[in-house]
Amino acid sequence: MFLCTTCQFLISLVHSDGRDVVVHAHEDAHCLEELEDGLEGDLQATDPWAIYDGCDSITPVVISGGLGTTDKDMALVDGTEEEPNPFYSTYYIIAHSARDSSGYWMEIFVDDSSHNATAVSVTGPAIAGSADLTYNPTESRWDSYTTGHIAYTTFPLKPPLTYGVAITDSTGTTNHEVVIQGYIEMFANNLSPDGIQVLAESLVFNWIGVEGDYTYEIHLDSTNWHKHNLTETSISYDGSPLVSGTNYDWHVNVIDQYDNVAYSY
């Protein structure tokens, strides 16, 4: 059993078709790692219930037969009331930096599908006092979008940046920390189509990308059409028919490995 230091959820290691696969207790695809050469990356051995008498003496278990293997003494455990999972939280916190051509800010979200929390507030650099997040029932989470830009500056702060997140519910207030690793200093450029244009039936979006290990998101405003995890700098529109004579805005986001984002409009 291991702890993912990225999101603090417990995971198990199994063997599948010749490679080690980390099976995550959390469903976020960003935390699913396929490891060919043993454990590496943001993983930390953990023994929360002292089952193995500490992590130093854990004996590796080799499982053969791939994902079809059965009858093995291994299971994912969420914890019980008597032996709770010390790393599990009812609330999953997402935090990253954001910027556009005018400034820098933080975007913080707290997943709360059951709306258990009654208040969520954030403290940290460039926040005077605290900033209250607002619950978004459509997304089932608390977010900083409806609150407005938090920790807004016209210049980048020196990373890493640590923010405190206080979540209040019927059990009281719990305090959490999130760390912003940095900013993206580059934008997608030369977005096309640009300005007011009369478009033919085929609509293709193009832009000039950035160098490095980045992906792109594209959003067509006033519609539900968007694409994520793009590596190319051109994509054809494949959404619902657009309304003739209507103006539509679109934008491209540059995303790094920490989900920090740079907006281009």
- pLDDT score for 24: 41
> From the CB of residue 72, how many other CB atoms can be counted at a distance below 10 Å?
11
Mean per-residue pLDDT pooled into runs of 10, the chain (265 residues): 45 42 41 39 46 47 45 47 59 92 94 93 95 93 86 93 96 93 94 77 90 94 91 93 86 94 94
- pLDDT score for 80: 57
> From the CB of residue 165, how many other CB atoms can be counted at a distance below 10 Å?
21
Q: How many separate domains does the chain show?
A: 3
CATH number at residue 228: 2.60.40
Distance CA 224, CA 221 (A): 8
54 inside domain: yes
| pTM for this predicted structure | 0.67
Check: CB of residue 18 under 8 Å from CB of residue 34. no
- pLDDT score for 85: 55
Range of the domain at 46: 2-68
Closest CA to 45 of 62, 32, 57, 33: 57
Where among 162, 180, 198 does a domain terminate? 180
Asked if residue 114 and residue 156 are part of one domain, the reply reads yes
85 inside domain: no
Strand residue runs (E) in 42-91? 43-45
- pLDDT score for 77: 47
DSSP letter at 55 equals S
84 inside domain: no
10 inside domain: yes
